[in-house]
Structure 1
Amino acid sequence: MPTKDQLPQVDMTHHTHPALADHPTLSSEQSGWNGIFFHHYDHPAHQSPTHRWMQHIIGITGQGGHPVESEHQIEGQILNCYCQPGEMLFIPAGINYSSLWHEAGEFSLLGISPQFFEQVAHESIRVKQIELIPHIGIADSLVQQIGLALKADIEAKHPAGRMFGESLATGLVIHLLKQYSVWQPRLSDDTGRLSEHQLQKVFKYVQDHLEQDIALSDMASVLNLSQYHFCRLFKQSTGLAPHQYLSQCRIDRAKHLLQFTQLTITEITLAVGLNNHSSFTRLFRRYVGTTPKEFRASL
């Protein structure tokens, strides 16, 4: 039997599952997300050999499928599960893991890099070491909702840009710390807000860089704040999450360009930081209730 150091290490960024020859049916490869990865699989009955993930892994069974009987081995301990649709498993990075799935089905895999996880953790709690606890066959509605939101964002080709996924990832890490760690983190109760000067700096940065795919870290760095604290303080100050504010700015800019310029819709798409026509149309319809073409025609 191989020693722990000899076991294969599986990297989510390589887009393959250790037991499946097929590539995922959906992947976040083109998302530009920092520290979080998403794959969706339709898989046959299969057995995965003992391996160690390089990322913290969340597996979510298909929402509309059927219960699937499975067997899991974590550091030598065997756990049997009759996984219901939408239930999750959580496998921290670096532990010995293998599985046997007795039936075909579908599942999503979310991977969080340990570096991203530790960054968010150390920004939000005051501990030097965090021990994560594996779980199998857990019903967790928040994780389920985040998985569905990430999947929908990939299918829609990221209509709000990369920040939407990164914001969800930050919230997901905080949730995992609360629910699946030996520590019960005491998050700050600080109800502070950003000053008007700080808000204006962020607003100006967004307006000056709106044609770019702005990352959450870009906005936070304007104020030299961590992503976690920036998200919390920005929402407390404006009532909007950073990705919601960014989307609203893009729509406002797009409406102005549609009304006062002769730029094509494709040119406007690029001018507001989005990379394809369909994503722009989808986001515009969500906020305005009509397509860019119809909006321009009604002026």
Structure 2
Amino acid sequence: MTALPIRDSNNKLLFIVFIFITSRYYQDREEIIKGKEYIDNHWQEEFDIDKLAGIVHMSRYHYTRLFKQHAGMTPYNYYQEVKIGKLKEKLCDTDLSITQVFEECGVDYNGNLAKKFKEKLGMTPSQYRTMMTQK
């Protein structure tokens, strides 16, 4: 919370504004920040919780629990979110087929992520492409 005095041109106090900032901080959890950065930089690789947990020197179970507590989702769910974001970006490139888009993102078009894409966005990748390229 921050309090800011608002004064007029004569320096007379008019009122005080209180600002409440509600943001989800990771309570200075360096492990969460490092994990997200690692996923953001290695999204094309296959997800490996053991490698991720090793980077922050924790067991996979403890790190997954801590990540979910502070980030609101598991590390794997975060990884999927990043992948879906990259798919959305690449689907706007009409020079690539949808299968090629998935391949460039290191994912099989007939795999689980295509289903997750539809669950998350309410449309298939081809429907998403059509919607985005009609604008």
Question: Is TM-score (shorter-chain normalized) higher than 0.5?
Answer: yes
Taking a change above 3 Å as real, the CA distance of residues 262 and 195 of structure 1, as seen in their structure-2 partners, is farther
User: Could you tell me which residue of structure 1 aligns to residue 102 of structure 2?
Assistant: 269
Structural RMSD (CA): 2.0
1:255 aligns with 2:88: yes
TM-score (norm 2): 0.68
The question of whether the paired residues in 2 share the 8 Å contact of 1:210 and 1:271 is answered with no
Unpaired runs of 5+ residues, structure 1, are 1-192
User: Could you tell me which residue of structure 2 aligns to residue 282 of structure 1?
Assistant: 115
User: Could you tell me which residue of structure 1 aligns to residue 68 of structure 2?
Assistant: 235
Higher strand fraction: Structure 1 or Structure 2?
Answer: 1
User: How many residues get paired?
Assistant: 106
Alignment equivalent of 1:216, drawn from 31, 49, 61:
49
Aligned partners of 1:227, 1:220: CA distance in 2, in Å?
A: 5
- Cα displacement (A) at 1:272: 2.8
Higher helix fraction: Structure 1 or Structure 2?
Answer: 2
Query: Aligned to 2:110, what secondary structure does the other structure show?
Result: helix
Please list the CA deviations of residues 8-60 of structure 1 after superposition, one character each: whole Å capped at 9, or x if unmatched: xxxxxxxxxxxxxxxxxxxxxxxxxxxxxxxxxxxxxxxxxxxxxxxxxxxxx
User: Could you tell me which residue of structure 2 aligns to residue 206 of structure 1?
Assistant: 39
- Cα displacement (A) at 1:232: 0.9
**Residue type at the aligned position of 1:263:** L
The question of whether the paired residues in 1 share the 8 Å contact of 2:47 and 2:76 is answered with no
The question of whether the paired residues in 2 share the 8 Å contact of 1:194 and 1:234 is answered with no
Query: Aligned to 1:278, what secondary structure does the other structure show?
Result: coil
Query: Aligned to 1:243, what secondary structure does the other structure show?
Result: helix
**Residue type at the aligned position of 1:218:** K
Taking a change above 3 Å as real, the CA distance of residues 294 and 242 of structure 1, as seen in their structure-2 partners, is same
Query: Aligned to 2:92, what secondary structure does the other structure show?
Result: helix
Q: Which stretches of structure 1, 4 residues or longer, exceed 4 Å deviation after superposition? A: none
Taking a change above 3 Å as real, the CA distance of residues 222 and 268 of structure 1, as seen in their structure-2 partners, is farther
